[in-house]
């Protein structure tokens, strides 16, 4: 096997996707900080690192199985690390295992610092990471993403940084999780033709082109409705409506998806990047609002 440059390894792990896993942790910590909880910052850092490692492991693990299943080929929009011959399948598989082992090591350290209840959340996270290819190929990938990038990390972060689960963190898990899942869903909608050729079934295929586009549009717009209702009702600070600054971006993503069809996947070729940027902007503004509420408005 040939030696690889640092840049090639970066292409393999796709670090530009990190906000999808990092922002649920960061926003949860900001939310808990707003509530007045005492934050264990060491545990917060370990939780963030572990989540990122699990995410990068999931990226490479999925790439390996996508290539083996022939979901990714030279004419697909997906990762090119294997389809171009940049890496051998065994290299990507071993990289995934190494990243997963590092993530588990972070989890073990947190387990020692926080106690046994974290074990079950950690095991669920590992299971979701390993099972993702199978679930994705059987129309359950979206559910896996919601669990892995929304509900599990917010609940787990609450436990690791405060020592107890604050179930109110689910208030922010849903809006962030929907936008994050939109990254996967627009990819699956774009790749319907090549996924059919590979013999797999995604949720986008099950819904059909029109319903799939509408579901994505819902994922982009509903988080703003959720934040508005929650802030007016007093569950979130009122000024979290600052996230509405990103509403034009969400509308742009939604309208682009609604214009596409099975015959024009190129229209949404870069929609995953745009959706990831929306998730980063939305989550950052939400986090800033929570910190501001603690320092300025209390």
Condensed to tens digits (0 to 9), the pLDDT of residues 50-99 reads 999 988 998 888 888 877 777 665 555 566 677 777 788 888 899 899 99
Mean pLDDT score across all residues of the chain: 89
248/72: higher pLDDT: 248
Res. 240: pLDDT tops 70: yes
Confidence grade of residue 194 (pLDDT, cut at 50, 70, 90): confident
pLDDT of residue 122: 86
Whole-angstrom Cα distance, residue 186 to residue 31?
28
Whole-angstrom Cα distance, residue 209 to residue 185?
11
Confidence grade of residue 278 (pLDDT, cut at 50, 70, 90): very high
Burial 175-196 (b: 16+ CB within 10 A, else e): bbbbbbbbbbbbbbbbbbebbe
Among the listed ranges 159-168, 187-196, 250-259, which one has the minimum average pLDDT value? Answer: 187-196
Centroid of chain to Cα 122:
16
Measuring CA to CA, how many Å separate 273 from each of 9, 184, 190?
A: 20, 11, 13
Name the packing angle between helices 89-114 and 152-162 (round to 10°): 40
Res. 147: pLDDT tops 70: yes
Among the listed ranges 9-18, 24-33, 181-190, which one has the minimum average pLDDT value? Answer: 9-18
Res. 246: pLDDT tops 70: yes
pLDDT of residue 74: 58
Q: Which two tokens stand for residue 75?
A: 């004419």
Mean pLDDT across the stretch 157-165? 94
pLDDT of residue 132: 84
pLDDT of residue 199: 83
């Amino acid at each position: 096997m040939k030696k690889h440059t640092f840049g090639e390894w970066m292409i393999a792990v796709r670090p530009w996707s990190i906000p999808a896993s990092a922002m649920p942790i960061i926003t949860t910590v900001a939310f808990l900080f707003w509530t007045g909880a005492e934050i264990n910052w060491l545990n917060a850092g370990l939780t963030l690192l572990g989540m990122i490692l699990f995410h990068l492991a999931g990226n490479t693990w999925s790439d390996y199985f996508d290539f083996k299943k022939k979901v990714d080929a030279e004419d697909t929009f997906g990762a090119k690390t294997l389809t171009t011959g940049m890496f051998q399948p065994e290299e990507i598989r071993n990289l995934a295992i190494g990243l997963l082992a590092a993530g588990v090591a972070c989890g073990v350290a947190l387990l020692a610092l926080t106690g046994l209840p974290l074990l079950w959340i950690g095991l669920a996270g590992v299971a979701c990471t390993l099972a993702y290819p199978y679930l994705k190929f059987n129309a359950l990938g979206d559910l896996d993403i919601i669990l892995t990038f929304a509900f599990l990390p917010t609940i787990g972060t609450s436990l690791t940084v405060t020592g107890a689960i604050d179930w109110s963190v689910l208030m922010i898990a849903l809006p962030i999780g929907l936008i994050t899942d939109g990254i996967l869903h627009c990819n699956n909608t774009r790749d319907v033709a090549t996924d059919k050729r590979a013999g797999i079934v995604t949720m986008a295929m099950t819904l059909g082109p029109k319903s799939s586009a509408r579901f994505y549009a819902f994922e982009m717009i509903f988080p703003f409705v959720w934040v508005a209702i929650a802030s007016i009702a007093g569950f979130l600070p009122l000024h979290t409506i600052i996230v509405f600054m990103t509403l034009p971006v969400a509308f742009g993503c939604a309208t682009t998806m609604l214009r596409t069809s099975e015959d024009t996947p190129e229209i949404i070729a870069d929609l995953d990047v745009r959706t990831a940027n929306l998730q980063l902007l939305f989550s950052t503004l939400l986090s800033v609002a929570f910190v501001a509420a603690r320092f300025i408005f209390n």
